[in-house]
């Protein structure tokens, strides 16, 4: 496969991510996936919590916490103390509002910040969590270094992400990443190398790409059948058609095993 060479990335910045999530993206992704904006919903959050051994003693940092669906779920079901870190004010405000409404603010708080410069001291957290969001991060090496820094010794990193799994043309690569505002996607092996280089022990690495392709088709059906009219009413036909084309490219790429998704778990030595 065409390796992702260092420095070879699209020129997206955190400002582009903010613009996307301050605009329709946050709402549209929630319409498609629910307030857990990741593949697999609560069931996936459960798998990660159990694999990381979360309980009421666990202090968790959720990097790219978005609307806080997973944070509240973990607080409700595991009694863990969760801090959500996100760089987009609108997502943070909405997460805070929903958390207060549910009366979970004694267990869940949020901090505005960039994952590349995590605003917490070394050794603060037992678990660092990430769900289907680190594909937005412009420097995955720095991200993993930051995750390592803020974990206590013996702490767990557990995350899922959208990954590049097969060969694609340069045009496909640009088109898929541009639609999502991803600077680049990591491969599962690439993530493993980043973890090992920083000093994590790899506990588990699982390719979930078949399930990812299935979910992409589910989202496409939902977009075309359930959501089309309301999206056109809210944002107009042009944006609907753009989303439909973009998602169709992702469905095709997932079905042809060019893009996928994986889960990685590691322990800080």
Ligand X SMILES: C[S@@+](CC[C@H](N)C(=O)[O-])C[C@H]1O[C@@H](n2cnc3c(N)ncnc32)[C@H](O)[C@@H]1O
- Give contact residues for ligand X (rule: CB under 6 A): 14, 17, 21, 36-38, 64-67, 69-70, 85-88, 91, 114-116, 131-133, 136-137
Q: Measured from the CB atom, is 136 or 240 closer to ligand X?
A: 136
Q: Measured from the CB atom, is 160 or 209 closer to ligand X?
A: 160
Spatial contact of 207 and 165, defined as CB atoms under 8 Å apart: yes
Q: Measured from the CB atom, is 89 or 167 closer to ligand X?
A: 89
Spatial contact of 55 and 79, defined as CB atoms under 8 Å apart: yes
Q: Measured from the CB atom, is 71 or 251 closer to ligand X?
A: 71
| H/E run at residue 110 | strand 108-112
Q: How far is the CB of 25 from ligand X (least distance, A)?
A: 8
Q: Measured from the CB atom, is 87 or 227 closer to ligand X?
A: 87
Q: How far is the CB of 141 from ligand X (least distance, A)?
A: 13
**CA distances for 241 relative to 26, 49, 180, angstroms:** 18, 37, 15
Q: How far is the CB of 63 from ligand X (least distance, A)?
A: 7
Residue 259 structure tokens: 């893009």
CA geometry: angle at 213 spanning 207 and 215, to 5°?
A: 105
Q: How far is the CB of 197 from ligand X (least distance, A)?
A: 20
Query: Which has the closest alpha carbon to 163: 116, 113, 222, 205?
Result: 205
In this structure, the strands spanning 125-131 and 108-112 are unpaired
- Can you tell me the distance from the alpha carbon of 168 to that of 259, in angstroms, rounded to the nearest whole number? 9
């Amino acid at each position: 496969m065409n390796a992702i060479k260092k420095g070879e990335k699209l020129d997206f910045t955190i400002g582009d991510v903010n613009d996307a999530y301050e605009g329709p993206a946050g709402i549209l992704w929630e319409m498609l996936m629910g307030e857990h904006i990741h593949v697999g919903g609560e069931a996936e959050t459960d798998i990660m919590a159990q694999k990381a051994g979360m309980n009421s003693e666990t202090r968790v940092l959720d990097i790219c916490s978005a609307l806080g669906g997973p944070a509240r779920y973990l607080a409700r079901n595991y009694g863990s103390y969760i801090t959500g870190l996100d760089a987009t004010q609108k997502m943070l405000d909405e997460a805070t509002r929903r958390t207060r409404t549910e009366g979970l603010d004694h267990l869940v708080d949020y901090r505005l910040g960039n994952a590349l410069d995590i605003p917490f001291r070394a050794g603060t957290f037992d678990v660092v969590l990430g769900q289907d969001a680190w594909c937005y991060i412009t420097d995955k090496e720095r991200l993993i270094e930051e995750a390592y820094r803020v974990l206590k010794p013996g702490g767990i990193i557990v995350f899922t992400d959208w990954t590049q799994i097969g060969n694609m043309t340069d045009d496909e690569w640009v088109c898929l990443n541009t639609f999502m505002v991803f600077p680049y996607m990591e491969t599962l092996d690439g993530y493993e190398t980043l973890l090992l280089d920083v000093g994590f022990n790899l506990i588990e690495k699982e390719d979930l790409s078949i399930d990812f392709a299935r979910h992409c088709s589910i989202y496409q059906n939902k977009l075309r059948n359930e959501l089309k009219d309301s999206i056109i009413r809210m944002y107009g036909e042009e944006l609907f058609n753009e989303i439909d084309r973009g998602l169709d490219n992702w469905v095709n790429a997932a079905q042809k095993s060019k893009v996928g998704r994986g889960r990685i778990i590691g322990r800080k030595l």
